[in-house]
Chain A
Amino acid sequence: MDIELTEDQELLRNSVQRFLKDEYGFDDRAKIVAGEDGWSRAVWAKFADLGLLAAPFAEEYGGLGNGPLTTMIVMQEFGRSLVVEPYFETVVLAGGLIEALGTDDQRGELLAEIAAGEATWALAWAEPGSRYNLNKVSVSADRSGDDYVLSGTKAAVIGAPWADRLIVSARTSGRDGDRDGVSLFIVDSRAAGLHMQSYRTVDGRRAAEVTLKDVRIPAVNLLGREGQGVVALESCRDRGIGGLCAEAIGAMTELNAATLDYSKTRKQFGVTLGSFQVLQHRMVDMFIALQEAVSLMQHLTLTLASNDAHVTKLASGAKTKVGYAARFIGEQAIQLHGGMGMSDELKVGHYFKRIGAIDIQFGDPAFHLMRFAHAA
């Protein structure tokens, strides 16, 4: 059960750790986030050099294979260093969808482009009012000759302002809310008729509301089978949850470590905070919450790798458990840092905000708890 890494996987982890330690410190990151772009193309190029941008792909596409486990290794380290670059969106979500659904041509071309660091992606599945329901798609895609014509609005598309290409879910048949009839399209972010309203996200990234007005997409840019987009998005969400859970574990690990360090040095009433039993027990509960979250995250990762039929229920379970644990740890980390926990200069607040965003992405614990409860 406990995951023993292969030699290649250990090497990957070490190289990610080394790079982030040397070149992605908290101050480096703060500069990147405050910059005009909000992300670093130089860092992205380094990711490409290190082979990270292909790592979860199959070996024929330059990866290490065992996608879920490789994703776990990278995302956990990214969580520890609060990486803002759109790795999750580009490699895990878009790359994963292309690898799973793409034609030979699409895979060959697009995965190579991603691996080389030449294109970033975003996944536009949500709409205003859709909440976390993948079926609620009202953006229309009507066939017109060799093209599809897309119209409608996609909401809260994370990383869209940075993206060269988008994967957009749009309805080719049926009614809003139907599971069937949704298709996925590869859309150039500079396509005529596509408009973005960009904004900053709580965790220091960028997102956009994406409006499509008669955007013409060549039929070759259909990804996967027409009408089968939701099924594809569902398994994309399961894998995505695996990555997000690993990232959350990385952040939670750092929050616990920072809180424990602080409690051993910060003095109140002449003694360290850590000498108060009420705070000791709180930190024990934070420790236990992390251990349980790690266990379920690893269990999900191994299950994703084995293609088990129950994986989607487990994904909802892990998202819930990790979500509640992360919120508890995040809130307590702020509380135990006292007034300092409110300061933007400290790391804890930034981990807290990233955890809050992860909590929402692909559905919050309340949503996934009930999805878990009702899953077979």
Chain B
Amino acid sequence: MELNLSAEDAAFRDEVRSFIAEHYPKEMRVANPETDLTKEQSLLWHKILHKKGWIAPLWPKEYGGPGWSLTQRFIWDQETSRAGTLPPLAFSVTMVGPVIYTFGKEAQKARFLPRILSGEDWWCQGYSEPGSGSDLASVRTKAVRDGDHYVVNGHKTWTTLAQHADWIFCLVRTDPSGKPQAGISFLLIDMKTPGVTVRPIITIDGSHEVNDVFLEDVRVPIENLIGEENKGWTYAKFLLGNERTSMAGIGRSTRYLRRLKDIVRAEIPEDDPSFAEFIREIARVELDVLALEATELRVVAQMSRGIDPGPAASLFKIRGTEIFQRITDLTHRAMGNYGVALREHPVSGNRFMPGPDYGHTSAEKYLNSRKLSIYGGSNEIQRNIIAKAVLGL
């Protein structure tokens, strides 16, 4: 499905397409880009985009954004996800960057924004804590003022790619009295500060994406506070709003669906009792993708006419993740007996994996994608949001 594009927008789409085709690094085309790349490899595309001026589509022009229209941003999202490029690190570009230019002091903007754009600083997100789940306001990590420093003590968890991070943005409790939301502050912490320890968490797919981050008597200069003390919840919610955009993941689902069809054609003979079931299930998912894509286009059309789409992001998050989970499930099952094999991490070409190449990541993808309906506000939380904001319940 294509947007009805103006001549300029169509030219822009063509420009984006050919730029990706020419410049996307071959080294990044690995079996599973999310887990198989080194830090340096995963920054290659980031640096190319930075040079081109396309690294931060969301950002206003004055801070280094490309100054694209809503439609151009949508085209960018569509084309990059169709092409299967690894998106620039969301924690840096999509999350903390906008918080800094929206709520930060001039000195913070000057110090941090250029290094986010260039990829020199890698950021991670210190939101979740043991036991907090989707209830983020239950922050227990404490920051106590001591002269011109905060002294931070606590434990952050599920911290994605903290093993590569130079900085962490943290929700910390600066006022234990009153409502849980009221006493939270938003603090930027240098990962090299004494007292910061990172410990890997290996997930069920065998990969190391997430970590525990321990903070013990970490001294953070007060100039690293974003906005006002105890107002951190406002900034945190602002950030989460950005996190849920483009959660529909149409491009990614379309790519994986195409791959699934190829795998089914190669792996399952027509006289296999499960063949008809796969054909039927694939058709159903394909329709789900088509309907979600049509919904996304409807919302984009409404937004460009100035209509507020309400909590459409929650709908996209729910359906986009459900669809992708279904595709990874079908892909895994399509591999038949070889579905029992799981790649070992760290990944190396020297370790034997049985069966055709296209099946090597099917088990880990299925396992890994279980996280999608849990993170970023679980799908149950998203349903609560729609119930309240749309249905008025």
Q: B218 on the interface (CB 8 Å rule)?
A: no
Given A287-B390, A317-B287, answer yes or no on A292-B295 (Cβ-Cβ < 8 Å): yes
A1 contacts B294, CB within 8 Å?
yes
Chain B residues near A280 (CB-CB < 8 A)? 383-384, 387, 391, 393
State whether B391 touches A284 (Cβ < 8 A). Answer: yes
CB pair A298 B298 closer than 8 Å: yes
Task: Please determine whether A296 and B393 come into contact, CB atoms closer than 8 angstroms.
Answer: no
- The residue that A281 contacts in the complex, of B282, B387, B390, with Cβ under 8 A, is B387
B202 in the interface, Cβ–Cβ < 8 Å? no
CB contact list, B349-393 vs A, under 8 A: 380, 383-384, 386-387, 390-393
User: Given A281-B383, A369-B283, do A2 and B301 touch, yes or no (CB 8 Å)?
Assistant: yes
B393 — which chain A residues lie within 8 A by C-beta?
260, 263-264, 274-275, 280, 283
Nearest-CB residue, chain A, relative to B387: A280
B297 with A292: CB separation less than 8 A: no
Q: Hey, which chain B residues are within 8 Å of A295, CB to CB?
A: 291-292, 294-295, 297-298
User: Which single residue of chain B is at the shortest CB-CB distance from A297?
Assistant: B294
User: How would you classify the secondary structure of chain A's contact residues: helix, strand, loop or mixed?
Assistant: helix
Q: Kindly state whether residue A370 has any CB partner on chain B within 8 Å.
A: yes
Find out whether the CB atom of A292 lies under 8 angstroms from the CB atom of B291.
yes
Report yes or no: A1 in contact with B384, Cβ–Cβ below 8 A.
no
Number of interface residues of B (CB under 8 A): 35
The reply to whether the CB of A42 lies closer than 8 angstroms to some CB of chain B is no
CB-defined contacts of A283 to chain B, threshold 8 Å: 387, 391, 393
The smallest beta-carbon distance between A371 and chain B, in angstroms, is: 9
Instruction: With a 10 A CB-CB cut-off, give which of B284, B291, B292 has the most chain A CB atoms.
Output: B291
The reply on A268 being an interface residue by CB < 8 A is no
Q: In the bound complex, do residue A293 and residue B291 qualify as a contact, i.e. CB atoms below 8 Å apart?
A: yes
How far apart sit A1 and B4, CA to CA, in the bound complex (Å)? Answer: 7
Inter-chain contacts of A292 with B (CB < 8 A): 288, 291-292, 294-295, 319
Given contacts A280-B384, A369-B280, contact A1 B291 (CB under 8 A): no
Q: Which residues of A contact B4 (CB under 8 A)?
A: 1
Across the interface, B294 reaches (CB within 8 A) one of A284, A288, A299, namely: A299
The smallest C-beta distance from A318 to any residue of chain B, in angstroms, reads 9
Q: Which residues of the other chain, B, contact A284 by a CB distance below 8 angstroms?
A: 383, 386-387, 390-391
Nearest A residue to B386 via CB reads: A284
- Contact string, A1-28, partner B, CB cutoff 8 A, digits 1/0? 1101000000000000000000000000
Q: A265 at the A/B interface (Cβ < 8 Å)?
A: no
Contact call A296/B380, Cβ cutoff below 8 A? no
Residues of A within 8 A of B295 (CB): 291-292, 294-295
For chain A, residues 245 to 298, give those with C-beta under 8 angstroms from any C-beta of chain B.
Answer: 260, 263-264, 274-275, 277, 280-281, 283-285, 287-288, 291-296, 298
Q: Is the CB of A298 within 8 A of B283?
A: no
A1/B287 in contact, CB under 8 A: no
A27 to chain B, nearest CB (A): 28
- Distance of A367 from chain B, by nearest CB (Å): 12
A294 contacts across to B, CB distance below 8 A: 295, 298
Q: Nearest Cβ distance between residue B129 and chain A, in whole angstroms?
A: 24
A309 at the interface (CB under 8 A from B): no
The 8 Å CB contact of B391, one of A4, A260, A298, A370, is A260
User: When chains A and B are docked, how far (Å) is the Cα of A175 from the Cα of B390?
Assistant: 55
Contact A1 B297 (CB under 8 A): yes
Q: Looking at the assembled complex, report how far the CB atom of A283 sits from the nearest CB atom of chain B, in whole angstroms.
A: 6
Q: State whether A298 touches B294 (Cβ < 8 A).
A: yes
- In the assembled complex, the Cα of A298 lies from the Cα of B296 at a distance in Å of 13
Q: Considering the chains assembled together, what is the distance between the CA atoms of A37 and B302 in angstroms?
A: 44
Chain B, Cβ-Cβ closest to A375: B283
Asked if A296 meets B386 with Cβ closer than 8 Å, knowing A1-B4, A288-B319, A291-B295, the reply is: no
- Write the chain B residue with the least CB distance to A322: B291
Q: B291, A370: Cβ atoms under 8 Å?
A: no
For residue B188, CB closer than 8 A to chain A, the reply is no
In the complex, whether A138 has a CB less than 8 A from a CB of chain B is no
In the complex, the answer to whether B283 meets A321 with C-beta atoms within 8 Å is no
- Cα distance, A369 to B286, chains bound together (Å): 10
Q: Does A281 lie within 8 Å of B302, measured CB to CB?
A: no
Complex CA gap A373/B286 in Å reads: 9
Q: Are B287 and A321 in contact, with the CB atoms below 8 A?
A: yes
Pick from B282, B287, B383: contact of A320, CB below 8 A: B287
Q: For the complex, is A78 an interface residue (Cβ under 8 Å from B)?
A: no
B189 at the interface (CB under 8 A from A): no
Query: Would you give the shortest CB distance from A80 to chain B, in whole angstroms?
Result: 19
A69-106 residues at the B interface, CB under 8 angstroms: none
- A280-B383, A369-B280 as given contacts; A321 in contact with B298, CB under 8 Å: no
**B220 beta carbon closer than 8 Å to chain A:** no
Closest to A366 in B: B280
CA distance A298 to B299 in the complex (A): 13
* Distance of A92 Cα from B228 Cα, bound (Å): 63
Tell me which residues across on chain B come within 8 A of A4, comparing CB atoms.
305
A residues less than 8 Å from B390 (CB atoms) = 284, 287
A186 to B282, CA, bound (A): 41
Across-interface contacts of A296 in B (CB, < 8 A): 287, 290-291, 294
Is A47 part of the contact surface with B, judged by Cβ < 8 Å?
no
B315 and A369 within 8 A (CB): no
**Residues A321 and B291 in contact in the complex (CB < 8 Å), given A373-B279, A373-B280:** yes
Judge whether A372 is part of the interface by a CB distance below 8 angstroms.
yes
Residues of A within 8 A of B250 (CB): none
Min distance, Cβ B277 to any Cβ of chain A, angstroms: 12
Tell me which residues across on chain B come within 8 A of A275, comparing CB atoms. Answer: 393
Tell me, yes or no, whether B247 is within 8 Å of chain A by CB.
Answer: no
A263 and B391 CA atoms in complex are apart in Å by 11
A1 near B300 with CB under 8 A, answer yes
Q: Is the CB of A287 within 8 A of B287?
A: no
Of B280, B288, B301, the residue contacting A370 (CB under 8 A) is: B280
Q: How far is the CA of A294 from the CA of B295 in the complex (A)?
A: 8
Chain A residues, CB < 8 A from B1: 299
Enumerate chain A residues within 8 angstroms of B288, measured Cβ to Cβ: 292, 321
Complex alpha-carbon distance, A280 and B392, angstroms: 10
Q: Which residue of B lies closest to A374 (CB)?
A: B279
Query: With the chains together, A264 CA to B383 CA distance in Å?
Result: 17
Smallest Cβ-Cβ distance to B380: which chain A residue = A281
Distance (whole angstroms) from the CB of A301 to the closest CB of chain B: 11
Task: Name A's B-contacting residues (CB within 8 A).
Answer: 1-2, 4, 260, 263-264, 274-275, 277, 280-281, 283-285, 287-288, 291-296, 298-299, 317, 320-321, 369-370, 372-373
Cβ-closest 10 pairs across A and B: A295-B294, A1-B297, A373-B283, A292-B291, A2-B301, A280-B387, A295-B295, A2-B298, A284-B383, A299-B294
5 examples of A-B residue contacts, CB within 8 angstroms: A4-B305, A280-B393, A284-B383, A298-B298, A373-B280
